Amino acid sequence: MSRRVLYSRSPSPASEGSPPARRPQGRADESARPTESAPPALPAPHAPGRWQRAKQRVNRPGTRLLAVGLAGLLLGAVAQPYLQPAARSLSQSDIDAAVLRTLENEPLPSPAAKAWDTIRPSLVRVRRLGPGKNGEPGEDIGVGSGVVVLESGLILTNLHVVAGATSIKVVFADGLESDADVVKVQPDQDLAVLQARTLPDDLPAATLKSTADVRPGDTVVAAGFPFGIGPSVTSGVVSGLKREFRSPEGKQILTNLIQFDAAVNPGSSGGPLMTPEGEVIGIVTAVLNPTEQRVFVGIGFAVPIENAAAGAGMSPF
| Annotated active-site residue in 160, 235, 239, 261 | 160
| Annotated active-site residue in 145, 178, 190, 239 | 190
Query: 201 catalytic, yes or no?
Result: no
Instruction: For residues 182 and 217, give the distance between their C-alpha atoms in angstroms, rounded to a whole number.
Output: 35
Whose CA is closest to 285, among 156, 111, 117?
A: 156
Q: Is 257 exposed, middle or buried (0-12, 13-18, 19+ CB in 10 A)?
A: buried
Alpha helices in the chain (DSSP H): 50-58, 61-83, 92-105, 111-119, 159-162, 305-311
105, 142 contact by CB (below 8 A): no
Whose CA is closest to 145, among 158, 154, 133?
A: 158
DSSP for 118-167? HHGGGEEEEEEE---STT----EEEEEEEEEEETTTEEEEEHHHHTT-SE
Q: What length is written for the chain? A: 317
Q: Pairing between strand 191-196 and 154-158?
A: antiparallel
Residues in a beta bridge with 191: 158, 186
Instruction: For residues 125 and 196, give the distance between their C-alpha atoms in angstroms, rounded to a whole number.
Output: 12
Whose CA is closest to 279, among 216, 217, 213, 198?
A: 213
Cis peptide upstream of residue 231 (ω within 30 degrees of 0): yes
In the chain, the N- to C-terminal Cα span, in Å, equals 128
Query: 261 catalytic, yes or no?
Result: no
Instruction: For residues 227 and 140, give the distance between their C-alpha atoms in angstroms, rounded to a whole number.
Output: 13
Query: 190 catalytic, yes or no?
Result: yes
Active site residues: 160, 190, 269
